[in-house]
Every structure is written in structure tokens, then in C-alpha cells.
Amino acid sequence: MSNVETSVEASPEVTIPPRKLGDTWDGWAGEVEENRGDLETSPWYFLTFATTVLVALTALVWTAMFLIEPRLNELPVWLNRTVLMSVWGVLSAVNLMFALVVLTVATGKNFVPFMKGRHIALSGIIPWTIKAGKIFGLSKDRIANSVLQVGNRLTTVNQAMIERDELLILLPRCLDKQTRDEIKMVTSKYDVDFHICAGGQMARQLLTEKKPKGVIAVACERDLMAGVQDVKAAVPVIAIANKRPEGPCRNTLINMTEMENAIRMYLGKELLPVDKPLLEQN
């Protein structure tokens, strides 16, 4: 297999508006990012804030039900019970599913087979979790990184082994030369291809043409979240957020152990020891 920098025309069949990688940084004033652009964050931050949001939502719903109880009592008994059971059922299902996500992240065992073919970044709770995180001083990008860490773990436990030619690796153009060289060495070691893409439109076309059974995507947190939301997680994705010591869209780099482990996971090989722990936000 050969490693190639892909340059293709936009497909006329794609109806999603074109989006270049880096568009999510429009308006960036050039300020230095926190921790010099290394925003690797524990998945437990997202899980903690999401749990807080769900508890608050559950309390709000039951408070509303208590306030309208006199009106509900005016309904026929069967209708009153149907409303109460429906509300209880929906809340119980949502909380149970999230509890199973937490249990999966904590144990590494698959309690979430229903998440196969889905991505946690598509959850409607994300905007509320970001707001909760900001209250405690975590940036949107920090929370996004934590969300992607959770998504990677859910993908890993649900993923079966695939063949080398069924794996699609998507890289941004902003990686520095040393990182590109290291990626070439790693992908050559496992005889897999990578493609350097200029934008989301190109990535979507590669997905259409290659029809992969697994994807490794490298970009900033903003582009990774936008990409997952664009394609609706049609295939399993391991998202690797780049590190940006010089700011976004130039001379970025990644943790190569994370890249190699993503490849090994898809190919059914034992994972390597992680070089360093996830950065924890104090």
C-alpha cells in the first residue's frame, strides 16, 4: 500500500455544504491556546458534567410534574397513568443508557452494544455539558476533547477486527514535517494507507469511495466534532486531536502512540503502553 496526499474534486452527490478544515477557527485573534494547544483531557470531565446535567434535568421534569399534578388528576385514570409511565420510562431509559456508558468507560467492558454505529458527540446533551463545563472554567475545546475520549472508548469496545484495506486514516495538512514522517513510518509498519485532506468535503468523498469499516481521523477538537456531526458517525471513528504549540492550522503534532494504538485496535492487535496519562484539568 502507498501513503498518498489525496486531492479530489467535490462530489456532486454530496449535499452537505463544503467545509474546509480550519473553518471552525474563523475569527481566531492569534492568542495562545491554553497549555500550548495540548488539550488532552480525561473522559471523566465530560461524564461528570453530563451526569450533573442529567440529574438537574430529571429534577426539573419531576418538579414540573408535581406542579401540574392537579391538572393530571382531572384526566381519566388511564390517561393519567399513561402520562406518568411515559415520563418515567423516558427518564429511566436515558439515565440507564448513560449509566452504562459510564460503566463501560470505567471498566473497559462493553455494556453499550446499542452505541455501535453511533457516536456520543451526536448526543443532544453536549451543548448543556459545554455550558456546565464553562461554569467550572473548562473551555469548549477541553470538553470536546473529553467527549472525543469517551467516543474513542465506546468505539473500541464495539469494534471488531477489520482488514488493512478496510481502514481509512484521514490527516489534516497542518501537521509538521516530523509528525508526517513519523506517521509514514507507522503506517508503513502496518501496511495501511493514509490520506491528507484539505476539507470536510474531501473526507466525505473518501468515505463514499472507500467505504471503510473503520476510520482514524486527526484534526483539532472543533473540526473533529464538526466532522462527526457532518457524517452522523456512519462508520466507527477513532478521533485523535492534534496538539497546536504554534496555534491552529500550522505545524501541529499528535501523540504517535495514540495513532499506533488506534491502528492496532482496528487490526485486532494488542495495544501498546500509553506514553503518558491524560492531562487533568486542575
Q: Dig out the grid coordinates for 208 from the structure.
A: 463514499
With H, G, I as helix, E, B as strand and everything else as coil, classify residue 81.
Answer: helix
pLDDT tens, residue by residue, 57-102: 999 999 998 898 888 888 898 988 898 899 999 999 999 999 999 9
State the chain's mean pLDDT as an integer.
85
- 7 DSSP 8-state letter: -
pLDDT in tens, 153-169: 999 999 999 999 999 99
Q: Kindly report the backbone phi and psi dihedral angles of residue 12, in degrees, each rounded to the nearest multiple of 5, phi listed first.
A: -70, -15
How many residues are listed for the chain in this entry? 282
CB 118 within 8 A of CB 101: no
How many angstroms separate the CA atoms of 100 and 120, rounded? Answer: 13
What's the pTM? 0.84
Domain at 161-267: CATH architecture: 3-Layer(aba) Sandwich (3.40)
What confidence score (pLDDT) does residue 29 get?
Answer: 57
What is the spatial distance between Cα 209 and Cα 203, in angstroms, rounded to a whole number? 10
> Does residue 25 register a pLDDT over 60?
no
> 90-149, pLDDT tens digit by residue?
999 999 999 999 999 999 999 999 888 788 988 889 999 999 999 988 999 999 999 999
Cell numbers representing residue 182 in the block: 513519523
Q: Is 6 helix (H, G, I), strand (E, B) or coil?
A: coil
pLDDT digit string, tens, across residues 204-255: 888 888 899 999 999 999 999 988 887 777 789 999 999 999 888 889 999 9
Q: How confident is the model at residue 20 (pLDDT cuts 50, 70, 90)?
A: low
Q: With a cut of 70, say whether residue 264 has pLDDT above it.
A: yes
Tell me the average pLDDT across 10-19: 41
What span, in angstroms and rounded, lies between the C-alpha atoms of 21 and 139? 20
**Pairing between β-strand 167-172 and β-strand 214-219 as defined by DSSP bridges:** parallel
- Judge whether 153 and 230 are in contact, CB under 8 Å: no
Decide if pLDDT at 21 tops 60.
no
**Strands of the 237-241 sheet, one edge to the other:** 195-197, 167-172, 214-219, 237-241
186-208 residue pLDDT tens: 999 999 999 998 777 788 888 88
Measured in whole angstroms, how far is the alpha carbon of residue 250 from the centre of its chain?
22
Angle of helix 140-158 versus helix 77-107 axis, rounded to 10: 90
Please give the pLDDT value at position 6: 45
Span 225-238, pLDDT tens digits = 988 887 777 789 99
pLDDT beyond 70 at 281: no
255 vs 242: CA distance, rounded Å: 8
31 contact partners, CB below 8 Å, separation of at least 6 = none
CATH 3.40.50.2300 residue window(s) in the chain: 161-267
